[in-house]
């Protein structure tokens, strides 16, 4: 019944987690969900107010621009200049997305031929892999190991694979490991892309969720990056707008033109009222982002301290709202957590073979609920 490619797709991890969580809730369990990275904090009020105003304006009720309204693209360019020191042409180097997942899911369709390789970090966001399979490409996993700071060893990629590769996905700050890039790695990635004629797609969705004075860079600030790369970004995590579906792809204009050509054939753009709300977010006061980071930092410290007290080896992340913890058997650990304590954590194997032996906690529940989760874990005898 289904197309052959469907048989190559693994079950989408978070959909399966939702099914298991729903089953426990139906059984009457008080579930503490620390699995999916969906912020529990509210979208800033000034953004909501702009959406309401714009939604009432009939001028915004028509088909939007495929590439994004000029005002939105200009706001993105200004934000990138102010935040990262990256200069972008709003007309050709910014493309509106329905969230960064939209861009990640469609970019292989523009550049990957059947049988071509895509270099995918493992562990990594599952859509890097699935988008490759939909384009009938071949996935080559780049292992992210703790001893390397969860940075891929580009020199370990065989030359024949690198020469046959069309895209390399990178993601720092990283989901799921919460790792940040190391000095010199982005420069080496640009050099590698030039050597092998590879497009780099950098997923920078977590750049604004950071702690302890760390400020994540844009890949595009690296010398030569605009020649070989685009960057996916999103308002989902930064402004607690996961359900709004608004993001952007920025960078090399030829690469963006290819992505844009695919998107004009599969969707009709982002609702103008949502784009106007996004302009308010990008152009508004940054206090709301700092406040969110302060809340996540308190949760991080509570969780890390509690896990260490239980005997687990875990490091406090510098960025993202994830804690990546080694365990003996990730599936057994996650299953036991849900069955015995009503706690949802994400097994690392769902992010690729490189995630085996880890679980991911999302800091998207209140400090009080995190403390309760830790108490349940202690009662389990962990």
pLDDT of residue 18: 78
Beta strands in the chain (DSSP E): 32-33, 94-97, 117-122, 138-143, 165-170, 199-203, 229-234, 247-251, 322-326, 343-344, 346-347, 358-362
pLDDT of residue 19: 83
Give the model confidence (pLDDT) of 62-89 as tens digits.
Answer: 999 999 999 999 999 999 999 999 999 9
pLDDT of residue 277: 98
What number of residues does the chain have? 382
pLDDT of residue 36: 85
Instruction: Look at residues 317, 374, 367 and name the one whose alpha carbon lies nearest to residue 345.
Output: 374
CB 22 within 8 A of CB 217: no
The CATH 3.40.640.10 domain(s) of the chain lie at 45-283
Average pLDDT over the chain reads 96
Q: Is 4-43+287-380 in CATH node 3.90.1150.10?
A: yes
pLDDT of residue 92: 98
Provide the pLDDT confidence category of residue 12 given band limits of 50, 70 and 90: low
The CATH 3.90.1150.10 domain(s) of the chain lie at 4-43+287-380
Q: What pTM was estimated for this model as a whole?
A: 0.96
Give the model confidence (pLDDT) of 177-216 as tens digits.
Answer: 999 999 999 999 999 999 999 999 999 999 999 999 999 9
- Which 3 state secondary structure label does DSSP give 359? strand
CATH code linked to domain 45-283: 3.40.640.10
Provide the pLDDT confidence category of residue 21 given band limits of 50, 70 and 90: confident
Rounded to whole angstroms, what are the CA distances from 232 to 202, 239, 253? Answer: 6, 16, 13
Give the model confidence (pLDDT) of 328-357 as tens digits.
Answer: 999 999 989 999 999 999 999 999 999 999
What is the rounded distance in angstroms from the CA atom of residue 376 to the CA atom of residue 325?
Answer: 17
- Give mean pLDDT, residues 25-39: 92
- Give mean pLDDT, residues 28-46: 94
What is the rounded distance in angstroms from the CA atom of residue 129 to the CA atom of residue 204?
Answer: 17
Provide the pLDDT confidence category of residue 8 given band limits of 50, 70 and 90: confident
Is the pLDDT at 13 greater than 70, yes or no? no
Q: Which residues have C-beta within 8 Å of that of residue 370, sequence separation ≥ 6?
A: 34, 299, 302, 303, 306, 363
């Amino acid at each position: 019944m289904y197309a052959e490619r469907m048989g190559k797709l693994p079950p989408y991890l978070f959909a399966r987690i939702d099914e298991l969580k729903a089953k426990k809730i139906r059984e009457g369990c008080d579930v503490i969900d620390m699995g999916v990275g969906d912020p529990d904090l509210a979208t800033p009020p000034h953004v909501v107010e702009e959406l309401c105003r714009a939604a009432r304006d009939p001028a915004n009720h028509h088909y939007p621009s495929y590439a994004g309204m000029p005002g939105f693209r200009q706001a993105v360019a200004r934000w990138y200049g102010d935040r990262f020191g990256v200069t972008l042409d709003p007309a050709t180097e910014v493309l509106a997305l329905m969230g960064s997942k939209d861009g990640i899911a469609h970019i292989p369709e523009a550049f990957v031929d059947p049988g071509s390789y895509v270099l995918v970090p493992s562990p990594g966001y599952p859509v890097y892999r699935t988008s490759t399979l939909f384009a009938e490409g071949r996935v080559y996993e780049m292992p992210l190991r703790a001893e390397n700071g969860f940075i891929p060893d580009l020199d370990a990629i065989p030359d024949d694979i690198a020469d046959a590769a069309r895209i390399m996905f990178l993601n720092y700050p990283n989901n799921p490991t919460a790792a940040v890039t190391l000095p010199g790695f982005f420069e080496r990635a640009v050099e590698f892309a030039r050597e092998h004629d590879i497009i780099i797609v950098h997923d920078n969705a977590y750049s604004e969720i950071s702690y302890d004075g760390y400020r994540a860079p844009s890949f595009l600030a690296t010398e030569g990056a605009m020649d070989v790369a685009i960057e996916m970004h999103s308002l989902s995590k930064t402004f607690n707008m996961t359900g709004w579906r608004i993001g952007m792809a920025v960078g090399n204009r030829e690469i963006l033109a290819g992505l844009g050509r695919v998107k004009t054939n599969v969707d009709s753009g982002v609702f103008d009222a949502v784009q106007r709300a996004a302009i308010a977010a990008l152009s508004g006061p940054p206090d709301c982002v700092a406040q969110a980071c302060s809340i996540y930092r308190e949760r991080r410290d509570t969780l890390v301290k509690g896990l260490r007290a239980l005997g687990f080896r875990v490091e406090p992340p510098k960025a993202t709202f994830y804690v990546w913890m080694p365990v003996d058997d990730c599936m057994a650990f996650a299953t036991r957590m849900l069955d015995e304590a009503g706690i949802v954590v994400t097994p690392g194997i769902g992010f690729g073979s490189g995630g085996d032996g880890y679980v991911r906690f999302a800091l998207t529940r209140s400090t009080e609920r995190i403390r309760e989760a830790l108490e349940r874990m202690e009662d389990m005898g962990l």
